């Protein structure tokens, strides 16, 4: 049995519904041919887990959930480099060309699956930077920038001078 978190309300016990993971074509609670994929059915999940293990994560196993159709979401929370870290990424199919990554409160769109392990490795080996930039002359924005090969990825979040930064973020702050 595998836990399912798909937006349905929990039952009276506070637990989300469970169902048997079946083969494509079998009928599951979600309908014919849909099931929660095992982590090894989504190649990028296995590659990211190996990258986290190389970075020192003691238990880099992701929970993988079906999100409808062939879509999936991989979720991991743990300690990495002295920081409590949450990593969630999602793709449109087992061999998704690109994924959306949520790294704690930072969100990256359209990251090529092949670059995801290297992006996370760059962040946690201090080969990334968090800077404060101006947007439209009025607003200050915190920007996390990561370079993987010849590609540069960045994401922003509203600047809050009172923000409590996690240790991994403090390591990347340049301003």
Domain housing 104? 37-126
- Asked if residue 133 is part of any domain, the answer here is no
| Interatomic CA distance for residues 19 and 29, integer angstroms | 7
The verdict on residue 65 lying in a domain is yes
Residues forming beta bridges with residue 102, ordered by sequence position: 88, 107
If one counts every other C-beta atom within 10 angstroms of the C-beta of residue 76, the result is 21
76 touches 63 (CB < 8 A) = yes
Number of compact structural domains in the chain: 1
Residue 8 resides in a domain = no
What is the dihedral sign for C-alpha 130, 117, 59, 40?
Answer: positive
Question: Tell me, what's the pLDDT at 28?
Answer: 40
Residue by residue, pLDDT tens for the chain (175 residues) are: 333 333 333 334 333 333 233 344 444 444 444 455 655 678 999 999 999 999 999 899 999 988 888 899 999 999 998 899 999 999 998 889 999 999 999 999 999 999 999 999 999 999 999 999 988 888 899 999 999 999 999 999 988 988 899 999 999 998 5
The bridge status of strand 2-3 relative to strand 18-19 is antiparallel
Q: Answer whether residue 70 is part of any domain.
A: yes
With respect to residue 10, please indicate whether it lies within any of the assigned structural domains.
no
Q: Is residue 6 part of a domain?
A: no
Most distant CA pair in the chain, distance = 56
- Looking only at the bridges linking them, the beta strands covering 83-91 and 98-103 are antiparallel
Integer Cα distance of 32 and 112 in angstroms: 30
Per-residue tokens: 81: 């480099």
How confident is the model at residue 37, as a pLDDT? Answer: 62
Does 162 map to a domain? Answer: no
Cα distances (angstroms) measured from residue 113 to each of 80, 108, 151: 21, 12, 13
Predicted pLDDT of residue 67: 86
Indicate if the alpha-carbon torsion angle 153, 37, 84, 114 is positive or negative: negative
Question: How many angstroms separate the CA atoms of 105 and 86, rounded?
Answer: 9
Sequence-separated (6 or more) residues with CB below 8 Å from residue 38: 21, 64
Q: Is residue 44 part of a domain?
A: yes
């Amino acid at each position: 049995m595998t836990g399912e978190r798909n937006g349905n309300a929990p039952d009276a016990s506070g637990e989300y519904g469970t169902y048997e993971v079946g083969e494509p074509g079998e009928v599951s609670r979600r309908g014919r041919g849909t099931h929660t994929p095992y982590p090894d059915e989504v190649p990028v999940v296995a590659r990211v887990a190996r990258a986290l293990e190389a970075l020192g994560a003691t238990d880099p196993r992701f929970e993988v959930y079906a999100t409808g159709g062939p879509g999936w979401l991989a979720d991991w929370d743990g300690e990495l480099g002295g920081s409590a870290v949450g990593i969630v990424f999602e793709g449109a199919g087992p061999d998704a060309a690109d994924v959306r990554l949520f790294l704690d409160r930072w969100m990256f769109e359209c990251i090529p699956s092949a670059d995801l392990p290297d992006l996370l490795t760059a962040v946690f080996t201090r080969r990334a930077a968090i800077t404060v930039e101006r947007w439209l002359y009025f607003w200050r924005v915190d920007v996390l920038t990561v370079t993987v090969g010849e590609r540069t990825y960045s994401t922003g979040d509203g600047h809050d001078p009172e923000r409590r930064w996690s240790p991994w973020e403090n390591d990347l702050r340049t301003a």
